[in-house]
Amino acid sequence: MSTESYQVHLMTETSTGFPSSLMEALESVTVSQSDQAPQTFEISFTSDYVSSGFQNMQIATSTHLKIGERVKIGATVGTASKLLIDGVITQVAYQPPSDSSGGTYTVKGEDISYFMDIVDRSMEYPYCVDSVIVAAILTPYITLGLIPEITETLVGLLDTMTTPQQMGTDRQTVNQMAGTHGYIFCVRTNNLTGSTRAYWGAPPYSDDIQPALVLGYSGNGNVSELQFNFDGTQPTRIWALVENKETDIPIPIVTVTSTSMTDFSSQPALTESAVLTAKNKAMYQQGLSVPTAWARAQALTNCSADSAVTGQGKVDALRYGSILMAPGVVAVSGAGSLYDGKYYLKTATHHITRTAYEQSFSITRDGIGSTLSTVQVAS
C-alpha cells in the first residue's frame, strides 16, 4: 500500500517484501507500540466479489499469512523510514465474500517476544543479580534475531537472604523483574534495516528527541487533538519497614523524591520540599535485604512521580512529516509554558489505510514547565 506521501512495507523474517498480489489487496494496518511487551499488530486484506468466487483466494492460502509466520511491518513518511514491529502471526480472522461484497482476511499478532511466552519454567538463579538473570533468559532468543540490550543492576549482590526464582514464562519473568527496578521490558525497532532489540532497563529518557508535536491555530499545527492531565495524587512516597533476619529488628526505609533524573520539567511534582498532595504509602517488607528493599521502594516512587503529567492525542503522519516511535522522547510545542517541552512517549498506535495514516499516542512526564528553549519540527 502506498500513496504519494506514505508507504507501508510488509516483509518476511529475511526482510523480503510480500508479493504484489498481497500488497494490492492490502486494506489497512494497525500497529500498537508501548513500553511493555508485547506490542501488537493487525493487517487486513480485502477482495472484490466476482461470479466465480473469492478473486484473491490465494490470500487465505498464502504461506506469508499462516499462524506462526514472522512478519515485519515498516512505514515510510517523507524521508523517514521505520520498522514499526517485528512480529509473529498468532490469529487469523476470515469473512467469506457475499453476493454484494468481497471477502476480508485479517491476521493479528504480537512482537517476537511472543516466543518468550509459550513455555512455563521453574528455575533458580542463586547469587545472581537481576541483570545477569535477564541476560541468561534472553540469550537463547538471539537465534531469532532478538538482540539483548540490558542495563546492569547491582542490587542483589548483598542479598544472600533469598534465592531468585523463576515461576512462569520468560516474558512474564523479565517483565516482573523490570517492574521491581522501575525499568521496562519491550522489543524495540528503528530503521527498516536495523536490528530488533530486547530492551530491559530504565525508560529511555535520554533518547534523541523526536520532532515536535505542534498545536497551532489556523491549520499551522500537526496535532489534531491533545489533552493533558496533571494528577497531584500520583506521586507516592514510600514508608517501609524491613525485617532484618539477623537482628530481628525492623529497619525503616523512606523515599523522599524521585531519583530518575528525567530533567523533563522545570517544576517536578515531587521534590524534597514539595508538599502538594503526594501520597505516602506504608509497606512492610519481609525476607529482603535492606538494599534490595530500598531499591524496590525507590522504584515505586520513581514510577509514580514520572507520570504525574499525562497527555493523549492524535497526529496526522503527513502533517507531522515523520513517524512517532514508542517508547521514546518527543517534544510538544504550542501548549503554553506549563505544558510545552520534552515528554516520554509511552505508547504510539499507527492506523494506516489506503487514504490516511493517523497516529494516536500517550505521553508522560514528572511535572510542569518546559526545560527546552527551542524544539525541532519535522521538515
Q: What is the secondary structure of 22-65 as a DSSP string? A: HHHHEEEEEEEEESBSPPEEEEEEE--EETTEETTHHHHH-GGG
pLDDT for the residue numbered 54: 47
- Does 245 have pLDDT greater than 50? yes
- What percent of the chain stands above pLDDT 90? 56
Could you read off the pLDDT of 83-136 as tens digits, one per residue? 999 999 999 998 877 766 677 889 999 999 999 999 999 888 888 889 999 999
C-alpha grid cell, residue 83 = 520498522
**How far apart (Å, rounded) are the C-alpha atoms in residues 201 and 149?**
8
**How far apart (Å, rounded) are the C-alpha atoms in residues 350 and 373?**
30
Distance of CA 136 to the CA centre of its chain: 22
**How far apart (Å, rounded) are the C-alpha atoms in residues 83 and 188?**
9
Return the bridge partners of 87, or none: 71, 111
Domain ranges of the chain: 116-201, 236-306
Paired sense of beta strands 341-353 and 357-365, if any: antiparallel
Greater confidence (56 vs 137) lies with 137
Could you read off the pLDDT of 258-310 as tens digits, one per residue? 888 778 999 998 875 555 556 777 766 666 777 788 888 889 899 999 999 99
pLDDT for the residue numbered 258: 86
Q: Find out whether 131 and 153 touch, Cβ atoms under 8 Å.
A: yes
Q: Based on the number of CB atoms within 10 Å of its own CB, is 151 exposed (0-12), middle (13-18) or buried (19 or more)?
A: middle
CB atoms within 10 A of CB 264: 24
pLDDT for the residue numbered 165: 84
Could you read off the pLDDT of 5-24 as tens digits, one per residue? 899 999 998 888 998 888 98
Q: How confident is the model at residue 247 (pLDDT cuts 50, 70, 90)?
A: low
Return the bridge partners of 214, or none: 333
**How far apart (Å, rounded) are the C-alpha atoms in residues 371 and 377?**
17
Average per-residue pLDDT for the chain: 87
Could you read off the pLDDT of 342-361 as tens digits, one per residue? 999 999 999 999 999 999 99
- What percent of the chain stands above pLDDT 70? 88
Cis peptide before 148 (omega within 30 of 0): no
**Percentage helix, strand, coil, to 5, in the chain?**
20, 45, 40
- Does 160 have pLDDT greater than 90? no
Least confident of 67-71, 153-157, 209-213, 262-266: 153-157
Distances in whole angstroms, Cα of residue 217 to Cα of each of 28, 222, 227, 317, 369? 30, 10, 15, 18, 22
Comparing CA positions, the residue from 137, 145, 129 lying closest to residue 166 is 137
Q: Find out whether 227 and 362 touch, Cβ atoms under 8 Å.
A: no
Could you read off the pLDDT of 28-81 as tens digits, one per residue? 999 999 999 999 999 999 875 444 444 556 677 788 899 999 999 999 999 899
- Does 365 have pLDDT greater than 70? yes
Q: Tell me the mean pLDDT in the region 370-374.
A: 88
Q: Find out whether 211 and 320 touch, Cβ atoms under 8 Å.
A: yes
Overall pTM surpassing 0.95 (yes/no): no
Q: Which of 47-51, 136-140, 240-244 has the highest mean pLDDT?
A: 136-140
pLDDT for the residue numbered 52: 47
pLDDT for the residue numbered 246: 60
C-alpha grid cell, residue 103 = 471477502
pLDDT for the residue numbered 57: 61
pLDDT for the residue numbered 252: 86
